[in-house]
Structure 1
Amino acid sequence: MILSQEYKEHWKFMNKLIFRFIFTYIVLYILLLFLSLFLEGLLRWFADNFLNWGADFKMESTGSGDRAFDYVRLGFNLFLTATIVLIWSVIDHQRKSYNKLFYWFQVIIRFTLIFAMLLYGLVKVFKGQFADHSLERLLQTVGDMSPMGLAWTFMGHSLYYNIFIGFAEILGGILLIFRKTVTLGSLIIIGVMSNVLMMNLTYDIPVKLVSAHLVFMAMVLLLANGQRTFDFFFKNKIIEKVEYYFPLKNRTLKSIILISKRFLVILVIGIVILQIFIRFRAQEQLKEKSDFYGIWETQRFVKDMDTIPPLLDDTYRWRYLIVDEKRKAIIKKMTDSLERYQFEINSDLKEVIFRRVNDSIPHRFSYTFTNPQQLELNGSLDGDSLFIQFNRKPKSDFRLINRKFHWVNETNYNY
């Protein structure tokens, strides 16, 4: 094979060249993930002068891993890799092998994948990545969803599916801790992360570059034991035990490394779990706890003493009032257009105040709960006097929520 965990005195020229390229590219990729913000001027100069893209791109974090900046960084990574490999090949062409460097290269990849898999897995197990359906999402039609929104709705629907997928990612990461199980761990990671990569590619989820690189790193680890894996799975051959190359001979040092790896994994798991619980706590704090929480469906809408009928082409009449998070409200019109407001509740005065996100003009309404499921608002908006009666729409009205698990199904229930 091109790369092997076994010690080889002499490497072929092509093997050395491929190793230099893979080593340089992956190490630079990991470094640039953390250091690129300190290289803003250089990256903008590179984008403007080498890629001819111009220097006007944003570097601020947006949650997307596929920004123009990320592709500039990818191009810069490839440029540096080609340059370094060329220089390295010239000045180091007489070296016979890279056994020791390849060992430490695998260590770098393993730690990177362990961290990534634990992070990916734990946020799924604790449902931090794919949250429960928001009230706004429950009212959104499938045709109005983005591909990513559809994927997030699918993943967010089931806690147990999240646990299953998250556990597979965690298992793959844990198996990379020990060299004897690296091959199995890399196989699991390739399988689960290939699924993630395909979802990112086919549902336009902007983490394509990161997931592709995680699959690539796992493939490098598998490649180091690829011939034996191929013989076992495809040639039905007996695989003999091999002695993996290990450059450190001191037993005490080996024990320290083993203990350190276990401690690091426990530390990382602890930090991630702590962050997830902090996030859960924050999400819980954001939820509206008052009687206003819910989806309120308009039953009667009176504008300037004139009752407005519920016509689907009416761009003014409210169809729903959605109160999901504290200090926020969404008004969904008959045409399904949305208006977002800051939302304040003054329980002493029995008053609510709407403010549009882009202005500070208050729109005041007095409110009355005739019963816990019925709400009346009376006030003015943009100079128009409004009186609105609502009924709370229960979550059980939504098939996505009320359709539970069934062992026995006499027919397909596909709606």
Structure 2
Amino acid sequence: MTHPSNYTGPASGLLQKTLLRSGIVYAATTVIPFVPAFYQQDFDAGFSVKGYPYRWLDVISQNNPWFFSSQGGKNYEGWLITLLVCLVIGIIWALVEKQVNKDRNALAQNSVDDRLYNLFFILVRYQIALRMSWFAIAKVFPVQMPFPTLSQLNTSLGNFTPGKLYWLTTGVSPFFEVFAGIFELIATVLILFRRTATLGALMMIAILLPIWFVNIGYDAGVELASLHLLFLSVALLLKDADNFYAILIRHRQGVINYIQLPGFREQWKKVARIVLKTGFIFLFLFYRGYHYEQLYAAGKTFKLPLDDGVKSFTGLYKVTYFRINNKLLPYSPDDTVRWQNVVFEKFNTISIGSAGAFKLKTDNKIRTTEYYGNIGRLYYGYEADTIKHILSLKNRVDTSDSIAFHYVLPSTGRFIIKGVNNKNDSLHIELERVEKHYPLSLKRNTEVRE
């Protein structure tokens, strides 16, 4: 059961005072973007904020403390140092406050602690909701982990990192992704309201604990992000630790308390609280949810390029003829120069299968499910002049690599392309579309065509 009346805030010992103040410092420093790199990033490159203004909400939601992304998302040392620094600040704060308030009565001091705990309670709840609202909505409208692209469906399994493979296997089942998103969204909403915050925190722990283990087991690179949210969710339950122990271990009756609203005397504070909370829910849940629904309905995701490709080009092509500098290269799976196959995506990407040496890209600051966490293909953004029959390609990873091709379409599903690459090699390549069916893309109980 829940009950508000017999709860007067945290215990007033020095340890509790120190932990409370340390918690406030930690919660504030991990939600406010103090890292200079946050302000130096290209927001449009990372979030497409110019074309999609509501993505500023994602910028705020995905602000990362310095220890999140450093060392591949595994900077536990940095996290522990942050906790230690916050603890030291909390100790100093508590000792200074004790000295300043040594002549104040205990009731007045407890009143200060009550207000500080309310501040801590607000900072933690809204930070969890801030971060989890994006993950939840991006799963409810499954754009966080999109279905594998044609390029990925034609990439060997061994060319994916474990973390990338986990993302793709989750994207294969939109039903599961939506279910996970609904569960996360319910927990996020519950945590926003004081009477249901405890239930929301319990749900968050149930969600975040396996996510943390998944990130560890698959080396997904966001271990600390999930651990941080898990840590905050547990912190919301500490006020009732004794009651949970009584109920769950000693099998005795206990009362789960909730934090009551602060007793504002001024009317404007009461109104401001309602306006701010309503605004948060409207912007981060309803407004963003509506736009993500529109994005999903259009068949797009921010994890992939947003510009459409030429619809008639879309498909997998085998390379039937490859000549470089007037030298014909027959097909060989080990040839590091010859192209093996080409994919035109439904968006403006051309990917080229190759046996050449690849540098694995694991930097996911501006994540794209095209080339993050896999090798075996070169990825080019393209622009097509369908009047002059010119394809302009620019490497999505190495922007100094560009190719301009003139193409001819002798028949449906065939390409003849000629051009010069950035190494000044002349290329003559012929492509033929391959009609290929993918069991992963077929609905259940649908017969797989050979």
Category of TM-score, reference length = shorter chain = 0.7 to 0.9
1:267 to 283, 286, 305: 283
CA contact (8 A) 1:370 1:376 kept: no
Q: Report deviation, 1:249.
A: 6.2
Matched, 1:37 2:36: yes
| 2:176 partner amino acid | Y
Distance 1:90 1:291, change over 3 A: same
Which residue does 2:186 correspond to in 1? 171
Matched, 1:230 2:245: yes
Find the aligned partners of 2:389 and 2:9 in 1 and give their Cα distance: 80
Largest Rg, 1 or 2: 1
Find the aligned partners of 1:352 and 1:132 in 2 and give their Cα distance: 27
Q: Report deviation, 1:281.
A: 7.7
CA contact (8 A) 1:200 1:206 kept: yes
Which residue does 2:444 correspond to in 1? 405
Matched, 1:156 2:171: yes
| 1:333 partner amino acid | S
Alignment coverage as a number of residue pairs: 380
Find the aligned partners of 1:207 and 1:17 in 2 and give their Cα distance: 30
| 2:407 partner amino acid | S
Q: TM-score, normalised by structure 1?
A: 0.76
Which residue does 1:349 correspond to in 2? 388
1:65 to 56, 65, 68: 68
Distance 1:224 1:400, change over 3 A: same
1:368 to 379, 390, 409: 409
Question: Residue deviations 1:272-320, cap 9 Å, x none?
Answer: 2366346948767423133222221224445677764432222222211
Which residue does 1:390 correspond to in 2? 432
Distance 1:174 1:204, change over 3 A: same
CA contact (8 A) 2:27 2:120 kept: no
Matched, 1:221 2:236: yes
Q: What is the DSSP-based 3-state SS (H/G/I as helix, E as strand, rest coil) of the residue aligned with 1:66? A: helix
Distance 1:13 1:380, change over 3 A: closer
Find the aligned partners of 1:178 and 1:354 in 2 and give their Cα distance: 51
| 1:27 partner amino acid | A
Q: What is the DSSP-based 3-state SS (H/G/I as helix, E as strand, rest coil) of the residue aligned with 1:224? A: helix
RMSD: 3.9
1:105 to 120, 124, 127: 120
Q: What is the DSSP-based 3-state SS (H/G/I as helix, E as strand, rest coil) of the residue aligned with 1:297? A: strand
- Worse-superposed segment, 271-280 or 165-174: 271-280
Q: Report deviation, 1:185.
A: 0.5
CA contact (8 A) 1:364 1:380 kept: yes
Which residue does 1:211 correspond to in 2? 226
Q: What are the equivalent positions in structure 2 for 1:8-407 lying under 5 Å apart?
A: 11-31=12-32, 34-37=33-36, 65-67=68-70, 74=79, 77-78=82-83, 80-93=85-98, 94=102, 97=110, 98-240=113-255, 244=259, 246-248=261-263, 257-258=273-274, 260-273=276-289, 276=292, 277=294, 280=300, 285-301=306-322, 308-324=329-345, 328-333=349-354, 337-354=376-393, 357-359=398-400, 362-371=403-412, 373-377=413-417, 382-384=424-426, 386-394=428-436, 396=437, 398-402=438-442, 404-406=443-445
Which residue does 1:55 correspond to in 2? none
Q: TM-score, normalised by structure 2?
A: 0.71
Q: Report deviation, 1:119.
A: 1.6
| 1:201 partner amino acid | I
- If asked which structure has higher relative contact order (CA below 8 Å, sep 6+), I would say 2
- Worse-superposed segment, 357-366 or 258-267: 357-366
CA contact (8 A) 2:18 2:93 kept: no
CA contact (8 A) 2:348 2:383 kept: yes
Q: Report deviation, 1:159.
A: 1.5
Find the aligned partners of 2:180 and 2:255 in 1 and give their Cα distance: 33
User: Gapped runs of 5+ residues in structure 2?
Assistant: 40-62, 357-374
CA contact (8 A) 2:159 2:376 kept: no
Q: Report deviation, 1:172.
A: 0.7
User: Gapped runs of 5+ residues in structure 1?
Assistant: 41-59, 408-412
Question: Residue deviations 1:153-190, cap 9 Å, x none?
Answer: 02211221111111111111111222221111000011
